Structure 1
Amino acid sequence: MSFGADESYNLTVPTTGDPLYAQIEAQTVFGALQALQTFGQLCYFDFTSRLIELNSAPWIITDRPRFPYRGLLIDTARHYLPVKIIKGVIDAMAYSKLNVLHWHIVDEQSFPIEIPSYPRLWNGSYSYSERYTMSDAIDIVRYAEKRGVNVLAEIDVPGHARSWGVGYPSLWPSESCKEPLDVSKNFTFEVIDGILSDFSKIFKFKFVHLGGDEVNTSCWTTTPHIEGWLKNNHMNVSDAYRDFVLRSQKIAISHGYDIINWEETFNSFGDKLDPKTVVHNWLGEDVAPKVVAAGHRCIVSNQDKWYLDHLDASWEGFYMNEPLKGINDTKQQQLVIGGEVCMWGEEIDASDIQQTIWPRAAAAAERLWTPIEKHANDTRFVTSRLARFRCLLNQRGVAAAPLAGYGRASPSEPGPCVRQ
């Protein structure tokens, strides 16, 4: 699925006709897939007639997404997620009309994916069994594509990369100071080039995510050979951080990618970023207006509203978070390509990821799909609809938690699904 593909559709369900049938009209297969998701929500199994029946026909539905980018981040560096679990997340995304799986593959704790160009990188995995082969990655991408979901791969550089040096210690500034990656060595950028070259054969989505957040540069000033390199190149650590990000961007562009970077890169040197850079907001809601005012595209994931690892964040907060808040200019609004809910993995694994994501992510999915004029100003008007969708997820094998609570809530008492 290419970015910006037409996902619009018309769905007509009459009450009379011979034969009686539902009709879907769409410009692309992806629009047809979205229509089928809607149609599936209208159907139910009648245990008396033993037939699949349809609620409240006739239906005439004309529908299209509000934003082209509707994402969910998963993190396989803090805890390994088996391929089957990732596929289950993709299934639930398709049910919810989310269309980008942001795969935060590696981080400082582990490097679980095979990189043929530099095969010792996955020495940084937690164990021999907690790894993804290239075949696994291809399998995940193809599985997602068939369900209308793109896979966005991320390598977070230069910080969050300590695990890289397990296989290649020269990527560390020193044995005692292991991140950010060594900015002074060409080898560092050769490895990044190798990773992105291998990625380009698998991850065909238009974008790659290069991270760039939370970079603590103290190792660069306390490591003699890097300190000498900085002096010889007339740089301070801020200059080196900028140089690292821009050099990585050029490598990604050479492999055909557009770039996404976390917002720290914009906050630190936004005027130097490649003009095609998409800035990924996460720290607060005041950043997106500044990003689009500067002419950059933006993805909204402000952590106080759309971080799923915040277990005290309610579904109501997910629903009410508006990506265009503070952006009134029509042209600037068009630069917000969408939003993303983030399932960071420090405190989740295969045992509890689904109930931590759902149904809160589905509340955000409605915000990203539905026209703003159709959003409810009072979440009480959304509760019954989301409760029924949560029950539908359960029926389809997705361990979505009850609404009456926060992340990973449990049923409070015996009763029907929709009242939990």
Structure 2
Amino acid sequence: RDRYADLYDFAPVGYLTLDLRGLILEVNLTGTELLGESRSALLKTPFHRFIDPNQRPAFHLFCRQLVQTRARQSCELKLARKDGSPFYARLEGVAGSYAAGSPTQYRLSLSDITRHKQSEEEITKLNKALADHAAAMEAANRELDAFSYSIAHDLKVPLGRIERLAEIVMEDFGATLTAEGNDCLRRVVDSSARLEKMVENLLGFARLGRKSPAKRATELNPLVEEVLDQLKPETEGRNIRWEVGPLPEVDCDPNLMKVVFTNLLSNAIKYTRTREHAVIQVGEGDRRGRRVIFVRDNGVGFDMKQADRLFGVFQRLHAMDEFEGTGVGLATVQRIIHKHGGRVWGEAEPDKGASFYFTFGCSQTDRTERYAESAGKRPDLRAQLFPRAGAT
């Protein structure tokens, strides 16, 4: 035994032997350092003196289990050294030194797990803060949806009246107005129509926030064919090669999924308008180790430096005089995909086309990335509906 005394004393964990009353019979040097007492002072000292009073019942249960099971047991306790400084410890123990068939001692190992516990507590705090922040964001988004719906609904009727009144003035009094006057009225009509379309899209976007997907097993290929048929008027006179590959059956809301494909395919049609030979692909593939659905085109693309603006409400990467639009389509796509538990993102190069990918259901990585995508994407309605003087 003496040959191993140094290994016992300087082991990386504390070793203690207690009698059945909990008095310390033996302790190694590591144990004395952990408890902050000399070996001589610790001998015959009740071990529970170092245990947080609130956790002493847990220690007594631990000791009873050692005797009853006669098997190795473990527990985690909050202890305090002689100077009162607290630390967390993990106890591993067995009952031993039997007499008349019953154990007479507890042999324990004592490990300082304070850093581990502090990390656990920090993670718990961070998770709570994240949950609180997510709940606050959810509440803010609900309020924003309600506000968006309210303001869009209230603006829709007067905007229609403005447009109609301007048209009446042009029809009845256009001949008596100057060219500049007629031009101003045309601007009023065009701006009213554009803003009315924006308001209509905003209403649709706000309604999505109130609606849960009615999911069912859905074959995506027939759904895409139906969307393409509806988009035929947008492709008249165009030379577009469609490449639609095999798509899976997924659990989704088919009506909402039509909205997703309508927006993505309509964008692909629009942004390939400058191409003599446009190519638009729809398919399933592997991206970043995940199965994804994609819509890809060889259109004008975009700069990835602006990718964080893609899915923001009223955000546009191209000038209105180049490509028409309200800036709500991709935001709608993202909201629908998020409601299906998935993620959507775009990749592109200027003048080399764009690819949009989305998933159904998501991993922890997807959830983290999705949270980052959604942060800060609230529309600035004041800027859109009441632009600064001189803004266009």
TM, length-normalised to structure 2: 0.22
Which structure has greater strand proportion?
Answer: 2
Greater RCO between the two (CA within 8 Å, min separation 6)?
Answer: 1
Which structure has greater helix proportion?
Answer: 2
Structure label with greater radius of gyration? 2
TM, length-normalised to structure 1: 0.21
